[in-house]
Amino acid sequence: MTGQSSGESPIFGDDFRTIFSDLIAWRRDVRHFRTDPIPPEVIADCLALADLAPSVGNSQPWRWINVSQPDLRAKVKAAFTEANNAAAKIYDGDQAALYARLKLEGIDAAPVQFAVFCEESCPQGNGLGRQTMPEMLRYSTVCSIHTFWLAARARGIGMGWISIVDPAAITETFGVPSSWTLIGYLCVGYPAEDHIVPELERRHWQHRTPNEERFRKQAFK
Ligand SMILES: Cc1cc2nc3c(=O)[nH]c(=O)nc-3n(C[C@H](O)[C@H](O)[C@H](O)COP(=O)(O)O)c2cc1C
């Protein structure tokens, strides 16, 4: 599945690079899903790749919970609705109206859902690399999610990341150890449609901006 079976370093040619660029360009945050199921072995392949993500000290601090129970999904939806209603209040006028029209989750339709946590007291890695910046464990967990995102898209599967929830409510819902921090709630399924342009751009909420603004050619001093 991972292409590592021969043990030889693969050669990534121009054709692969073109396809890889397409994969990155066409990865989307998806909120509109078809409800058809995803074969479990396909999800297992994506998770196996997510588990190969880089992590500080090789700690692999990600903890993925497969959320299949309808009652737990309903609790997540309720947590989203509460947090989203609160978030909507920070906007006024046209922006408030636009925010109210955005679809920011796909919980009702997504056939596969995960709550992804970071184990903050993870012994694996023996503390390497996280003494001055303990948040590296969380960033490592993000790497795992992003690897899953790309692996899923390469199989025609979409993923939507939900952060509009009170993390305490989700931690409570799943009864996870207090040392686990919620990183994201993920909705996974076949997209109702494919787009190269992000949904928030298509809905006129936020466009991408030129990258010269982000990649500085020199330091400040
Ligand atoms: C850390 C993180 C949290 C996000 N949380 C949400 C969310 O709660 N709801 C949502 O609709 N999209 C969420 N998104 C998706 C972003 O809105 C999306 O990535 C961005 O608009 C760019 O679109 P694209 O991913 O399709 O390129 C999140 C993305 C990230 C990386």
Give the CATH number, domain containing residue 33: 3.40.109.10
Q: Cα dihedral sign for 143, 145, 149, 152? A: positive
β-pair partners for 118? 62, 181
Q: How close is the Cα of 119 to the center of ligand 1, in Å?
A: 23
Q: Which residues line ligand 1 (CB under 6 A)?
A: 28-29, 31, 104-105, 161-164, 198, 200
- Tell me if 156 is assigned to some domain: yes
Residue 55 has pLDDT above 60, yes or no: yes
Q: How close is the Cα of 161 to the center of ligand 1, in Å?
A: 6
- Tell me if 217 is assigned to some domain: no
Secondary structure of residue 166 in the 3-state scheme: coil
Residue 56 belongs to what domain range? 29-208
Q: Which atom of ligand 1 is nearest to the CA of 206?
A: 21
For position 212, what pLDDT does the model report? 84
Say what the pTM is. 0.97
Burial class (CB in 10 A: 0-12, 13-18, 19+), 155: middle
Whole-angstrom Cα distance, residue 185 to residue 163? 7
Q: How close is the Cα of 195 to the center of ligand 1, in Å?
A: 14
Whole-angstrom Cα distance, residue 220 to residue 158? 39
Whole-angstrom Cα distance, residue 216 to residue 127? 32
- Tell me if 17 is assigned to some domain: no
Range 132-160 average pLDDT: 98
pLDDT tens for each residue of 70-110: 999 999 999 999 999 999 999 999 999 999 999 999 999 99
- Tell me if 7 is assigned to some domain: no
* Residue 216, C-beta contacts closer than 8 angstroms, at least 6 positions apart: none
Q: How close is the Cα of 29 to the center of ligand 1, in Å?
A: 6
Q: Which atom of ligand 1 is nearest to the CA of 163?
A: 8
Report the candidate in 110, 108, 109, 2 with the shortest Cα–Cα distance to residue 47: 2
- Tell me if 63 is assigned to some domain: yes
Q: Per the structure, how many domains does the chain have?
A: 1
Residue 2 binned pLDDT confidence (cut-offs 50, 70, 90): low
| Mutation probe of ligand 1 site: the residue of 29, 99, 114, 139 with most atoms within 8 A of C-beta | 29
**What share of residues in the chain are helix, strand, coil (percent, to 5)?**
40, 15, 45
Range 164-173 average pLDDT: 97
- Tell me if 220 is assigned to some domain: no
- Tell me if 161 is assigned to some domain: yes
- Tell me if 10 is assigned to some domain: no
